[in-house]
Structure 1
Amino acid sequence: MTGARPCAAEKRRARERGGGGRGAAAEAAAGGMNGARGAGRALAALLLAASVLSAALLAPGGSPERDAEAAPPRDLDKKKHVDLKMDQALLLIHNELHGTNLTVFWNSECCYHCLFQVLVNVSWSGRPGKPSIAVGAVSTQHGSLLQLNDTLEEKEVCRLEYKFGEFGNYSLLVKHTHNAVNEITCDIIVNKNPIDSNLPVCIAFLVGVALIIAVSFLRFLLSLDDFHNWISKAINSRETDRLINSELGSPSRAGSIGGDAQLEAWRPPTATPRLRCIDTFRGFVFIMGSSIFLSMTSILQRGCSKFKLLGKIAWRSFLLICIGVVIVNPNYCLGPLSWDKVRIPGVLQRLGVTYFVVAVLELIFAKPVPESCASERSCFSLRDIIFSWPQWLFILMLESIWLGLTFFLPVPGCPTGYLGPGGIGDLGKYPNCTGGAAGYIDRLLLGDDHIYQHPSSAVLYHTEVAYDPEGILGTINSIVMAFLGIQAGKILLYYKDQTKDILIRFTAWCCFLGLISVALTKISENEGFIPINKNLWSISYVTTLSSFAFFILLILYPIVDVKRLWTGTPFFYPGMNSILVYVGHEVFENYFPFQWKLQDNQSHKEHLTQNIVATAIWVLIAYILYKKKVFWKI
């Protein structure tokens, strides 16, 4: 940081040498810098304005969302009211069948091969002509499957599919048809219309589009010389800046206001151009691989020894793992945390292990990046792959280990090669087989108490077994994905300044990995050989995500780095401080102003407003740190 600005003596010599022409040039340069600073301040102001506007548009009003449950229908006969939660609707089951008790079963259409769950029992009222009514809450996230059985005879009465709306009020009428006594009809009618759960998201999207248009229009205006000169004259930024620094006692400005001496414009030293598309797309395992290769190549070209670089790699991996262990084990206001309950796997832990393996692999087989050979006939068209055959061999061996353990490791009480969620999935045959071999290895090596206790599969499949989505076996495929990111970095360096060749290879990799995903999944959600599963980090998940990663780079590279039509703002700023933003979010997510008490905790719009404001604040923090040249590097 020291020496970033010229000292006072140098500026005095510059003023003594300065003439009229140089002064005009300096003033123009200073105006350009102030215009850039103004654009940055305008970006921050617009970002906050978007948050405020979103908060105003999405702020809670008279709680129309809860009207569906605020006034229960009169036909409840003073039965206990069901308090609806987010993504739920009220269902009233009217049993008009004489002498028949009903059991209502429910299931989500997204729950693959799941057992039906009992929703409510509806007994006969005992009085002919007067139906009995039971109340239940049904999920509105996905379509619902309802099955009604005769409780005594355990015989199916009817089955129907329906997509309920959030906070809607519905009635399910079960009765005999007028023409036939033995025929039963089950009809759903709407007592009160549901709310539009997508409305807050649509409003936020429109606000985001308006923000993009406003920023683009501002940048266009700043590119006009007449508008730029008018802004410079209106703000008179040079004298204002001098007054502020003088008031603060800064030695960076001297001389009287309006003096004849002109300052020579200070220009920051030119830095090595960065691939802004990488910083814009930072944060994924794929891009971590690209960054590893680009940074390692640069360090080795500067003469750093491999042994010294190995020490830096090991230290950085160790820090990532340690920070990750601290982050995933919060214990606010609960007293000391027991070592018996410490969770070991986590996001940063997986990144640390992945970084170490991939970086060491590239360090061992590192070769000088070949010079551009666009004009040489002997140039290999696949040199980015051929020059890395030892690394590819190692990665293929790792993937073979994952496939062997996943599909051939015997797991007690589970079928070999099981990839399901357990719980009520697969008709409840394997309730304790969550994750198959991946879950078994974690529980065997780490113990049940040291892995994640609340897997996402518990919501839909009601699993009761601990399972960690950042477990040991899945780390193998995260290494594979990081190595695919290294392949993208090699394309960028091996074919530097050859935009056509780079885009052709990005397209080829995108299509190749996409075809592998098609073959593995059979273009289905659950029927393929290896379904896409983030919790397992299945190989189909890796190929699909990597295919999209190459596609995004295919779009971003010409726009951001070649044509420079977009600088990557605002994603560029969090990308430059990704670890700090992630750790800060994990630590302060429950603190004000990132979170506050909501008037209606079951409201989508209030949660969305809170998340928009928190995201905008973190982007603003990242922007300020970028302008202050503060970067947290491990």
Structure 2
Amino acid sequence: MEARRRIHAALTVVVIVLVTSSYGRHVAKAPMLKMDQALLTFHNQLSEGVQVFYTSDYCYKCLYQHLASVKPNNNNASAVISTRFTLTLQVERRTRNETLCRWSQTYEEGGHYSVWIQISEADSKPSCTRTVDKSPDNAYLPLVVAALLLAIMALLFVVVPYIYRRRCTSKCIKTICCQAPEYSVDNGRVNTSEASKAKPPRLLSLDTFRGFSLTLMVFVNYGGGGYWFFQHAPWNGLTVADLVMPWFVFIIGTSVVLAFRSMQRKGVSRLQLLRKITWRTVVLLMLGFCFLNYSPRDGPLSWSWLRVPGVLQRLGFTYFVLSLLQTFWGQKEIPLRAHHWWNPVQDVFLYWPQWLIIILLETLWLCLTFLLHVPDCPTGYLGAGGIGDNGLYPNCTGGAAGYIDRWMFGDNMYRYPTCKEMYHTTQPFDPEGVLGTINSIVMGFLGMQAGKIIICFKEMNFHILCRFLVWAFVLGISAAILSKCTRDGGFIPVNKNLWSLSYVTCMGCFSFLLLGSMYFVIDVKSWWGGQPFIYPGMNSIFVYVGHSLLGFYFPFSWEMRFQSSHWEWLLQSLWGTLLWVLIAYLLYRKRFFLKI
């Protein structure tokens, strides 16, 4: 019996060796792939071992990272790779620093791929032949289905109410879809008695723009279905997620101009305005610091690592500065039109003190960014550090911006920057840091400029739209020049983490175009009432704080079981977003609007 067991064991070992070595087939089961992953198997038919290295084409001048080592003589090795960006792979001899082959390829989710490293019959040199063992999944099918369903919902919200309004058949539909509280945008040229009888129409496009930005923000914060373009860019570049916050800042600037001018014309004193500004700023800062910067999932609270900067903190400080500008140097009354040389640019000329302050702030940002000496880093460095820039500046993440934040906040900063995974950074970096707040103020000031245009050229829709287009063109050209229309090779790359000047000009261009389009469709032509975005837009603080605090709880989210595709994650992201839109609509029906 003992001899039989030994013979049986020996035969088993021989069979296993034949399967793994002679033919290079898999014995172990292939690993379970998750979203944005593919399986890459290397088959080495050479007589010496090889090593495989990779780098992402999105990673700027990054060092190659080790992926797999493959033994010689028909052995193989498998590795799970990311499908988010194009990868460049390089196969080298293990004993000598010699590159056998190099190629770039965008792999697709769920696919199984093979690379056969063998001697070419044509020239007797090593070559790499790539094959597909299992066809990849269609990662974008869930997105297409969701887009079709949302398009149908859009028809229900836009086309059907429009038809009913035109036929004047449903009073209820009008109430739901058309009415809203009102912003005053009158410029002082109307009769006082008439103004007391009827309030000037509210700028519905502004509420819609705010609600659209907020809805997209909720969707992005809830995961965006797991798609990489609904998440922030690793460093330079622009994704859908990077559009949201600057749009919101732009809207803050526009709202400040319209609201403060209305209050000033009602006789609200400067001291009362300062009290209101201070109160709102303190509330925003405390909401961000006490509630949104910490989650019970982070474990026991420790002041040694609690994050000080944050989204609401930046919004609060930006609001504070913009409000001061409007309080002290805003125009309570627009002068009657006369034959002045500055009439065509009165929306700029009348506010020259504000422009002077903004120019000084931007000059400060440029000087600190490009002239401040950062230890062990090149002056004016804007990179991510880590393995980027050929690994020369591993501890220089964010350049001057990161240095200032680390000096001011120490460990009380964001610990998981978007560049950490791709660039293998070790330094903390906060995207809502001090230096970026300067350009956040500049972004809000561009929104103030939109409000000034609406005030100065009231009831002159053609002039308003033309000026929006001019500003969009100027800002777009500026962004193109600063970035050289490239992701990484410009004078100042577009970068959301740094809130670079090119990022601000680019987002200012988009903001003027989007607000102008909504103004034309909603306020000028009345083709659309802004539904459903107008509802969260009128309760923005409630929706933002609520979705941040309750996002990890049912029914807004749940523990996902199917993590190999985007279906469930996209469903959860859309479901959570739609719930908050529904809550905002119900609050609108109840006439409940949370204000601070």
TM range (shorter): 0.7 to 0.9
The CA distance in 2 between the partners of 1:556 and 1:335, in whole Å, is 44
User: Aligned residues, how many?
Assistant: 516
Letter in 1 for 2:201: P
Give the structure 1 partner of residue 209 of structure 2.
281
Give the structure 1 partner of residue 346 of structure 2.
383
TM superposition shift of 1:327:
3.1
Tell me which of 164, 180, 188 is aligned to 2:130.
188
Give the structure 1 partner of residue 121 of structure 2.
178
User: Which runs of structure 2 are paired with 1:456-467 in the superposition (5 Å)?
Assistant: 456-467=418-429
SS, match of residue 128 in structure 2: strand
Give the structure 2 partner of residue 84 of structure 1.
33
Tell me which of 143, 149, 152 is aligned to 2:95.
152
Give the structure 2 partner of residue 242 of structure 1.
none
Give the structure 1 partner of residue 142 of structure 2.
200
The CA distance in 2 between the partners of 1:438 and 1:603, in whole Å, is 37
Deviations 1:9-52 (A, max 9, x none): xxxxxxxxxxxxxxxxxxxxxxxxxxxxxxxxxxxxxxxxxxxx
Deviations 1:354-410 (A, max 9, x none): 11111112211122231563x867771111100111110110000010000000101
Give the structure 2 partner of residue 488 of structure 1.
450
Question: Does the 8 Å CA contact 2:158/2:528 hold for their aligned counterparts?
Answer: no
Letter in 1 for 2:352: W
Give the structure 2 partner of residue 419 of structure 1.
382
Letter in 1 for 2:75: S
The CA distance in 1 between the partners of 2:135 and 2:566, in whole Å, is 17
Give the structure 2 partner of residue 37 of structure 1.
none
Question: Does the 8 Å CA contact 1:369/1:494 hold for their aligned counterparts?
Answer: no
Give the structure 1 partner of residue 67 of structure 2.
119
Task: Name the TM-score, length of structure 2 as normaliser.
Answer: 0.83
Tell me which of 359, 363, 369 is aligned to 2:327.
363
Gap change, CA 1:385 and 1:217, over 3 Å in 2: closer
Question: Does the 8 Å CA contact 2:57/2:87 hold for their aligned counterparts?
Answer: yes
SS, match of residue 215 in structure 1: helix
Q: Name which one, 1 or 2, has greater alpha-carbon Rg.
A: 1
Question: Does the 8 Å CA contact 2:70/2:76 hold for their aligned counterparts?
Answer: yes
TM superposition shift of 1:108:
1.0
Letter in 2 for 1:601: Q
Deviations 1:108-155 (A, max 9, x none): 111110011100100114xxxxx1110101110111100001011021
The CA distance in 2 between the partners of 1:228 and 1:360, in whole Å, is 45
Deviations 1:476-512 (A, max 9, x none): 0000010111010000011100111111111111111
Deviations 1:265-292 (A, max 9, x none): xxxx964421011111115101100001
Question: Does the 8 Å CA contact 2:139/2:565 hold for their aligned counterparts?
Answer: no
In the alignment, does 2:55 pair up with 1:93? no
Tell me which of 322, 326, 329 is aligned to 2:293.
329
Deviations 1:536-593 (A, max 9, x none): 0001000000011011122111111111111111111111011111111110001111
Tell me which of 299, 309, 313 is aligned to 2:273.
309
Letter in 1 for 2:58: C
In the alignment, does 2:490 pair up with 1:547? no
Letter in 2 for 1:292: V
Deviations 1:149-195 (A, max 9, x none): 101102111101111110100100110012332x1211110001000
The CA distance in 1 between the partners of 2:164 and 2:325, in whole Å, is 47
Structure 1, unaligned runs of 5 or more: 1-71, 126-130, 233-268
- CA RMSD in angstroms comes to 2.0
The CA distance in 1 between the partners of 2:122 and 2:341, in whole Å, is 86
Letter in 1 for 2:423: Y
Gap change, CA 1:76 and 1:578, over 3 Å in 2: farther
User: Which runs of structure 2 are paired with 1:37-56 in the superposition (5 Å)?
Assistant: none
The CA distance in 2 between the partners of 1:470 and 1:457, in whole Å, is 14
Deviations 1:179-232 (A, max 9, x none): 332x12111100010001111111111111111223344224523659659x99
SS, match of residue 82 in structure 1: coil
Question: Does the 8 Å CA contact 2:33/2:110 hold for their aligned counterparts?
Answer: yes
TM superposition shift of 1:104:
0.3
In the alignment, does 2:498 pair up with 1:536? yes
Tell me which of 26, 39, 53 is aligned to 1:105.
53
User: Which runs of structure 2 are paired with 1:462-541 in the superposition (5 Å)?
Assistant: 462-541=424-503
Structure 2, unaligned runs of 5 or more: 1-19, 174-196, 214-247
Question: Does the 8 Å CA contact 1:221/1:227 hold for their aligned counterparts?
Answer: no
Task: Name the TM-score, length of structure 1 as normaliser.
Answer: 0.79
Letter in 1 for 2:155: I
Question: Does the 8 Å CA contact 2:49/2:94 hold for their aligned counterparts?
Answer: yes
Deviations 1:582-606 (A, max 9, x none): 1111100011111012221342111
Tell me which of 263, 283, 302 is aligned to 1:319.
283
Question: Does the 8 Å CA contact 1:371/1:494 hold for their aligned counterparts?
Answer: no
SS, match of residue 450 in structure 1: coil
